[in-house]
Structure 1
Amino acid sequence: MSSIESKNFITDNFLLQSKEAEILYHDYAKSMPIIDYHNHLSAKEIAENKPINNITKAWLSEDHYKWRGMRAYGIEEKYISGNATLEEKFQKWAETVPHTLRNPLFHWTQLELKRYFDVDDILQPKNASDIYNKANIILEHKTPAQLLKDMNVEVVCTTDDPTDDLKYHKEIAKGNFFTKVYPTFRPDALFFIDEDNFQNYLEKLGTCVGFKIETYNDLLKAIDNRIDFFHENGCQLSDYGISGAFSFLEFTKEEVFVIFDQSLQGDTLSEMEVQKYRSSLLLYLGQKYHEKGWTQQYHLGVIRNNNSRLSDLVGTDAGCDSIADYPIIEGLSKFLNALDRTNQLAKTITYNLNPAQNETFATMMGNFNTNGIPGKMQWGTAWWFLDQKDGMEKQINVLSNMGLLSQFIGMLTDSRSFLSFPRHEYFRRILCNIIAEDVINGLLPRDLDFLGNMIKDICYNNAKKYFNFK
């Protein structure tokens, strides 16, 4: 197998294509702390704070981006999600890396190896063993908390089911951690009234709150209980990530009571009944988030688990999700308007996965900026398949055209890995290069201090003010 030139291209001025970009990044963006307000890190691993010890575990074990790349290169599944050894899996990833050219995986891989392990060579079969051993030696002495501190991560917000006891968040809060770790309320399971395990989930929720959930009012009482509990434990955000169309239908309380009763009795619900129940739940939750002063997030536009054979083999998050073309924006408009009409619209962030809807989302969010809150309605950072150079540039440019880039709360990882935080650096370099290019082209004034401070706001200050974490 031929090898690629091993000298790393991740220089100090990677992605920075002018002196102006270098100044904006190195003098303003680089040193700003990180607020990672949406990810899927394990609070348990942070609380226990034991070294992960192995780069395959830390880097590959749940990374469906890398899994997709390996499958595209023709790697057998046993080396991806199967029973191959950790070193064998790393070797197969090393075989794949040189062939990920122009995929963001190539940039991310080298950036992460450089920042965490001071690896200058491009990962490939001829150096895989050396890099594997070097990384593992370093990881023997690096706990999750230390990895976060090394990247200057000030805050992370995990993603948590309403039934979570938040045991590990409590332990972290009592400890002497540099990084603050807050839960995020993610009630997706409450929306699946049409699925077989819905009643099992209600039983689990009932056990959690100490009473049986036999009516819709019981459900709302249980939701209140859990939101109060999350709030007491530092929660400031909610999230919603259900695939499919985003519908918001008119409903009456009487209708929803009947629909809920029918579900508990095992009756089959129509699609309209399901959507009326979901609309009622969306509205109630939105009102509660406003009452608590939380920020609500909506991740929209994904079609999940397309490959049923692979999903059956690996489970959810197997790496077989895609961009969807569901109708979303009309339902989103009705939903936001229903909350705004009664002055119960919380700070809101929406993320779209379909880039064809960039302008649609950006302009919709601008409709509801009210009540004197800077950047109240955020069209969120390029997400999932879009958090790469082209996707970030498009998101930044559309936001600039349709809203106020200066009020943007910036990047997040949406990651399950403690080694993913150089993605903030990636975003910051791209942002600085865009602004510098406008300066060079005479589209912005050559006031690098003013522009640099705006970049500092986007990288950190805006999010710090927006969330106001305790």
Structure 2
Amino acid sequence: MLEGMNGHFSEDLFLKNTTGKYLYETYAKEMPILDYHCHLLPQEIFENKEFEDLGEMWLAHDHYKWRAMRTFGIEEKFITGSASFYEKYLAFATIFPKLVGNPIYIWCALELKRYFDIEEPLDAENAPRIYAMTKTLIAQNHITPRWCMEKSKVEVVCTTEDPIDSLSYHYKMRENSSAKTRILSAYRPDRAMFCEKEDFSSYIQLLSQAACLPIDSFSGLFKALEQRLQIFKEIGSTVSDNGIPDFTWVDYTDEEIASVFEKALRGEILSSLEIDRYRSAFLFEIARIYKRNGFVMQLHIGTYLDTNTGKVAIIGHSTGFDCIDDSTRIKSVGTLLDKLSTLGELPKTILYPLDGTKIEAYAVLAAGFCEGGIRAKVQLGAPWWFNDQSFGIQRQFEAVANLYPLSLSVGMLTDSRSFLSYPRHELYRRVLCNFLGSLVENGEYFGKESDIATVIRDVCYYNAKAFFSF
């Protein structure tokens, strides 16, 4: 038998040097989790229903798995279709051994080990037995969304909501003192930025109703957006999130933006120049609102959404048909930051380039706007979406440590719709400690152990706690 192929999960995962293993076990392993960006549903957290089975836990919301299953030619019935969760689980089990090298393989292995103490890898042969074992444990332990959070030592979770959201489940959870994890909401105003969409005018009407304010001008739009942001602030939120599929900075006048906004409200077709003007003005003004209200601005840059329009029309958005795009120029993001900085209105900002080849350039850009006595005021975010696996994490450590102090990072997030995804923080911490351990063993770091221990604890927990004012 080949070494390592013993059919069991290894606790040395990603820990390839003795120092890294020591650092992980001693300083990183037991740190709590602050999951400041995810897409969990507040209703599911509030209702806290016991899961039906592992099929539901793995396949109800996970577009990573859906996309992988499609690549193997599995029918949509067994992905997002009418099949039972057990049938979907069995279909997924048939491809699991073939996911070697894919992060799904490691994520699932970590999830089986951490939540069910199962060490053997899933395959078509053992799938019924593993299903039965996990179903029994779900019933015995009453495994629910909150159980998963508490099991993983999650202190804070930030879901993501639109400004028009009533936040009703967040209010209900505030009244429910039994929840040990604090649930906040990240403010995501994307729909107000996409002026070219067919539903823009109807969305503005909904926003007007939510804010109880008339919106008949661009300035009126931002009065409503700020009013809604302050509702988020009342429940303790300090985090915003802005998705930027593509963005080109274009200078504009107030008159030009007023004209674009009026045309968009009438449902008229906008030119690409008008769209760029509007997005430039929108991101500038929304950033000023974040600054006034003490919110962190997260910019998720470079998504190419809904690439397969035919499938999206049938199955829906965010179902595994999104991609990476490089149309947003770094200079455009830099111009936005520069104009805000010049006016003294630049909020704390995290940049998340989806194009992994751009991480070094964005790290340099971020360092150029650190100011005002705030640690890491503008910083590079965790490897995101298609980059949140060991390769992407390691690549970012190696590239960015040369350009921006790694010790200032706010660490990992799940960006997930799954309650089993918290071992992604563990994966990140393992790679972090292995990276630092290799520097120690190579003689590239020879400071005190207490200093490197502080770096690990900060990146895993304390930096995020301070940066987001949790």
Coarse TM-score class (shorter-chain normalised): over 0.9
Superposed, 1:65-464 pairs within 5 Å as 65-140=64-139, 141-176=142-177, 177-244=179-246, 246-445=247-446, 447-464=448-465
SS of 1:231's partner is helix
TM-score by length of 2: 0.96
Q: Bigger CA drift: 402-411 or 43-52?
A: 43-52
Could you list the runs of 5+ residues in structure 2 that have no partner in the other structure? none
Structure 1: how far apart are the matches of 2:207 and 2:73? 43
Q: Tell me the CA shift for residue 446 of structure 1.
A: 6.1
Provide the C-alpha distance between the structure 1 equivalents of 2:185 and 2:272, rounded to a whole number of angstroms.
32
Which deviations, in whole Å up to 9, do the C-alpha atoms of 1:15-56 show, x marking residues without a partner?
111221111001000010000110001111111112122222
Listed one character per residue, the Cα deviations across residues 402-454 of structure 1 (whole Å, up to 9, x for unaligned) are 01111111000000000000000000000000111111111111633321221
CA distance in 2, matches of 1:407, 1:221: 34
2:291·2:345 contact (CA, 8 Å) conserved in 1?
A: yes
TM-score, L = length of structure 1 = 0.96
When structure 1 is superposed on structure 2, of 87-96 and 71-80 the one drifting more is 71-80
Aligned length: 464
Q: Quick check: 1:7–1:122 contact (8 Å CA) kept in 2?
A: no
Q: 1:6 to 1:170 in 2, by over 3 A?
A: farther
Conserved 8 A contact 1:6-1:121: no
Q: Report the Cα distance in structure 2 between the residues aligned to 1:324 and 1:266, rounded to whole angstroms.
A: 27
Question: Matched residue of 2:350: which SS?
Answer: strand
* Alpha-carbon offset, residue 262 of structure 1: 2.0
Look up the SS of the partner of 1:142 in the other structure.
Answer: coil
- 1:268 deviation in Å? 2.1
Structure 1 residue 355 displacement after superposition: 1.4
Cα displacement (A) at 1:228: 1.3
Please list the CA deviations of residues 65-115 of structure 1 after superposition, one character each: whole Å capped at 9, or x if unmatched: 111211122212211111112111000111111000011111111111111
In the alignment, the residues of structure 2 paired with residue 195 and residue 240 of structure 1 have an alpha-carbon distance, to the nearest angstrom, of 16
What is the percentage of aligned positions where both structures have the same residue?
38
1:241 alignment partner, SS class: strand
Any conservation in 1 of the 2:303–2:322 contact (CA below 8 Å)? Answer: yes
Paired residue secondary structure (1:458): helix
Match of 1:390, SS state, is helix
Gaps of 5+ in 1: none
Kindly provide the amino acid, as one letter, of the partner of residue 240 in structure 1.
N
Q: Tell me, yes or no, if the aligned pair for 1:43 and 1:158 is still in contact at 8 Å.
A: yes
Q: Note the alpha carbon deviations across 1:168-205, whole angstroms, 9 max, x for none.
A: 11111222211111111100000111111111111111
Q: Given that residues 49 and 144 in structure 1 are in contact (C-alpha distance below 8 angstroms), is that contact kept between their aligned partners in structure 2?
A: yes
Query: Is the CA contact (8 Å cut-off) linking 1:18 and 1:436 kept in structure 2?
Result: yes
The offset of 1:137, in angstroms, is 2.5
Per the alignment, in what secondary structure is the counterpart of residue 125 of structure 1? coil
Maintained 8 Å contact 2:302/2:353:
yes
Whichever residue aligns with residue 194 of structure 2, its letter is F
C-alpha distance in 2 between matches for 1:466 and 1:52: 34
Secondary structure class of the residue paired with 1:237: coil
